[in-house]
């Protein structure tokens, strides 16, 4: 069986599914979309039993900010399919036995690929470490520097009027005739705009961002990152973040991964830290919010495993809240 049966990550694949789900399950599915500058639609999809009032429901949002990290997208798509149909995308039976309960008690919103502009420019559907070295991978991610031929710069918002990378990295989203942004670093991105809209409509209680990174020279291949302002957060939120992180790390161990045992706050310093702290204070609701990082582009963590671990993080997040309500 090809991995591609279970791996929907390109805009034409995800959009087709969203529209299909919206049509087949109108009582369970709400779609929202923003047309990016390049003309591709970025979607959010919300699952809940609409016959039951939103008031008492647990509200979670799951988002995949980076186009070069497709396993989170694949995981969202497979999880949504299981909740709606009882089956994985490859048509095998799902192990999730309490779908009705989840839909009755929760509002689950997914931004499985809020930058289809970037994703559509990705040369591969998954990064498995067989085709490109990490150095090559990074030149796809951020673009290629015309002089060094290595990875270009990390930029929040930049313009081709002032900058001339040899290629434009897939992490970036074009937002005007000449400007580009990294989605989770600029409020003009489809990612932030969709989250803001969903947030105003549903008011989330928890937020999980699904990321991937290379884990070069690390003995680990998965980790949870706590908020950069973890230590400034109210005690009950700090504690919720740690308990949530520990639950995911535990389940990853059972899947055979090598997760970092103790989750830590985002370790940026200097300008990067200031940027993230500012963003947090301006935009992030004060709710439990954590981030997954699953190994990308390495033989040690094949795409099936990447997807499984991201999906596990989604499952554990939902289970925790269902159990707390029981």
d(CA 222, CA 214): 10
- Are 224 and 290 in contact by the 8 Å Cβ rule? The answer is yes
How, if at all, do strands 58-63 and 41-47 pair?
A: unpaired
**211 lies in the site for Zn ion, by CB under 5 A:** yes
Using CB under 5 A, pick the residue from 14, 57, 59, 66 that binds Zn ion: 66
Tell me the helix, strand and coil percentages in the chain, rounded to 5: 40, 20, 40
For Zn ion, the closer CB: 20 or 156: 156
Give which of 215, 230, 300, 298 is closest to 263, Cα–Cα. 230
Smallest distance, Zn ion to C-beta of residue 119, A = 13
Smallest distance, Zn ion to C-beta of residue 296, A = 9
- Select the span of 129-137, 190-198, 205-213, 246-254 touching Zn ion (CB under 5 A): 205-213
Smallest distance, Zn ion to C-beta of residue 282, A = 20
By CB under 5 A, how many residues form the interface with Zn ion? 3
- Select the span of 58-66, 221-229, 264-272, 312-320 touching Zn ion (CB under 5 A): 58-66
Residue 267: count of CB within 10 angstroms of its CB: 9
d(CA 116, CA 166): 21
Query: Encoding tokens for residue 81?
Result: 């399919």
**185 lies in the site for Zn ion, by CB under 5 A:** no
- Select the span of 62-70, 110-118, 143-151, 305-313 touching Zn ion (CB under 5 A): 62-70
For Zn ion, the closer CB: 296 or 317: 296
Q: Is 259 exposed, middle or buried (0-12, 13-18, 19+ CB in 10 A)?
A: buried
**68 lies in the site for Zn ion, by CB under 5 A:** no
For Zn ion, the closer CB: 68 or 88: 68
Q: Which residues bind Zn ion (CB under 5 A)?
A: 66, 69, 211
């Amino acid at each position: 069986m090809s991995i591609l049966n279970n791996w929907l990550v390109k805009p034409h694949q995800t959009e087709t599914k969203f529209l299909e789900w919206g049509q087949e399950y109108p009582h369970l599915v709400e779609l929202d979309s923003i047309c990016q500058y390049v003309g591709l639609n970025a979607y959010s999809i919300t699952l809940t039993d609409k016959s039951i009032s939103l008031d008492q429901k647990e509200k979670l949002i799951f988002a995949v900010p980076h186009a070069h990290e497709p396993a989170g997208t694949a995981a969202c798509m497979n999880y949504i399919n299981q909740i709606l149909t009882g089956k994985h995308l490859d048509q095998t039976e799902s192990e999730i036995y309490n779908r009705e309960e989840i839909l009755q008690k929760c509002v689950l919103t997914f931004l499985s690929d809020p930058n289809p502009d970037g994703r559509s420019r990705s040369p591969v559907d998954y990064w498995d470490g067989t085709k490109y070295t990490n150095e090559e991978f990074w030149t796809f991610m951020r673009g290629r520097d015309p002089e060094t031929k290595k990875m270009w710069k990390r930029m929040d918002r930049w313009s081709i009027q002032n900058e001339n990378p040899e290629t434009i990295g897939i992490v970036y989203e074009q937002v005007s005739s000449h400007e580009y942004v990294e989605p989770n670093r600029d409020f003009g991105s489809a990612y932030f705009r969709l989250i803001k809209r969903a947030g105003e409509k549903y008011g989330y209680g928890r937020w999980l961002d699904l990321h991937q990174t290379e884990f070069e020279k690390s003995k680990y291949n998965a980790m949870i990152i706590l908020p950069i302002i973890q230590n400034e957060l109210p005690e009950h939120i700090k504690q919720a973040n740690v308990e949530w992180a520990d639950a995911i790390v535990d389940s990853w161990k059972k899947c055979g991964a090598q997760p970092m045992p103790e989750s830590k706050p985002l370790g940026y310093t200097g300008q990067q830290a200031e940027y993230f702290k500012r963003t947090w204070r301006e935009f992030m609701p004060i709710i439990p919010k954590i981030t997954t990082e699953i190994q990308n582009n390495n033989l040690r963590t094949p795409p099936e495993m990447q997807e499984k671990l991201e999906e596990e993080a989604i499952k554990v997040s939902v289970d925790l809240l269902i159990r707390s309500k029981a």
